[in-house]
Amino acid sequence: MRPSSSPSEALLRGLSGTPDVDAELGDHALLRALLDAEAALARAGADVGLLPAEAAEEIVRQCRVERYDPAALGPAAEAAGNPVVPLVRELTAAVAEPARPWVHHGATSQDVLDTALSLVAVRAAGPLLRHLADAADAAARLARTHRDTLMIARTLGQQAAPTTFGLKAAGWLVGLVQARTRLTRACADLPAQLGGAVGTLAGYGAAGPVMVDRFAAHLGLAASPLPWHTRRQPLLDLAAALGGLLAATGKIALDVGLLAQTEVGEVAEGGAERGGSSAMPHKRNPVDSVLVTAVARRGPGLVGTLFAAAGQEHERATGGWHAEWEPLLDLTHLAGGAAARTARMLAGLDVRPRRMRANLDASGGLLLAEAVAARLAPALGRAAAHGLVRRAAARPDFRAALLAEADLRAHLSEADVDAALDPAGWLGSAGQLIDRALDLHREATRGPAASAEPRREATRGTAAGPREAQP
């Protein structure tokens, strides 16, 4: 059967994803993974002596994605409730007569679909993690470059005290590094699924556990100690990692959007052709910030669906398993788009130190009230120092009001007051914290490659034969 032509790009889906990740999530990618699972099943059966080698080779030869049409398999799946049943029917018809009894030997539909979804997630994680690494590299550059760039820290929506843009970028960096580490671990632990109808491996007799190990090895996936038909922790770990990635990128996007507001103007997104308005020629909207914020807000619902579906009954679920498929793919799609756009947003970010300093100075030193109170506290006590500074802060000229306080002048000189009002002197351990974030990033970069590629016993994409045959 010849595959149908590819559909045109959706008008909206491209705004939430990225092409290289989405290429591993579409119908053809899932079909390839399903066929990879069927081919690995035949190979594993031959390894343990349950299938004739000739039958296994014939099954593998027919597990080629171009032979099957997702557009036909989709409607056919409705009768059985999953796409594996019609695919196995077509695969059985495609192989030579002597091999037909050995197609899908000992497995159930959930074994193949769960395994295929593990493969899809691992393959999509390759480009996704590269985008995340690019975003982390860009955040690290910002942290290094702007280590001493003064700006206002804001708490509860209000101007609070001085900080540096380098420390803000370092916070973004740590969130990205941690998200990449969690996702790498979750993908490395994703197992193949093989249990047969009720998780007893009855179709393989005493060879069942070895069959599981060989099946997983051929796919480059982890081998689960027991079938996980209704024990969904592997997918929950993946969902949590993807949700955490969306939270980390969403926080960055929200910060950038707020800092780019006209009244603030401390950063702007790069790209002269991006961010235009259909109505207002002067507008330069922070479009990547907007799009990442949008997908980050969709993430919790999808994560919640996967966790809600995880309470599954007995040995095989009625509906809980089925509820996972699309949310998992959608969550991976959103994470890919968020990682790619965050990388672009940070790499091209226009940072404006002069505007940061102007905003910092606009309050006439009020942001250093804590610093003045800290200098007075040893002499007056914390409560009295706090009250004195609060009184001065209520007057129009904060510095003059401070110097007019006799209790202050008894302990602090005018030079002492000016030193307390210097924002560069009230940064605490900001520089050291930036260094710690950069060290974490360097350690993560030097560590094992976080590519989440399958383990290397089997070739990736067994359905299409040797690696060089893969698209």
State the catalytic residues. Answer: 277, 316
Bridge partner residues of 199 (DSSP): none
**With contact defined as beta carbons under 8 Å apart, do 393 and 446 qualify?**
no
Alpha-carbon span 42 to 92, nearest angstrom: 12
Bridge partner residues of 163 (DSSP): 151
Alpha-carbon span 366 to 358, nearest angstrom: 14
**With contact defined as beta carbons under 8 Å apart, do 151 and 258 qualify?**
no
> Quick count: other Cβ atoms within 10 Å of Cβ 90?
16
**With contact defined as beta carbons under 8 Å apart, do 198 and 315 qualify?**
yes
**With contact defined as beta carbons under 8 Å apart, do 261 and 355 qualify?**
no
Alpha-carbon span 417 to 421, nearest angstrom: 6
Relative orientation angle of helices 382-393 and 369-380, to the nearest 10 degrees = 140
How far from each other are the two terminal CA atoms of the chain, in whole angstroms? 19
The widest CA-to-CA distance across the chain, in whole angstroms, is 102
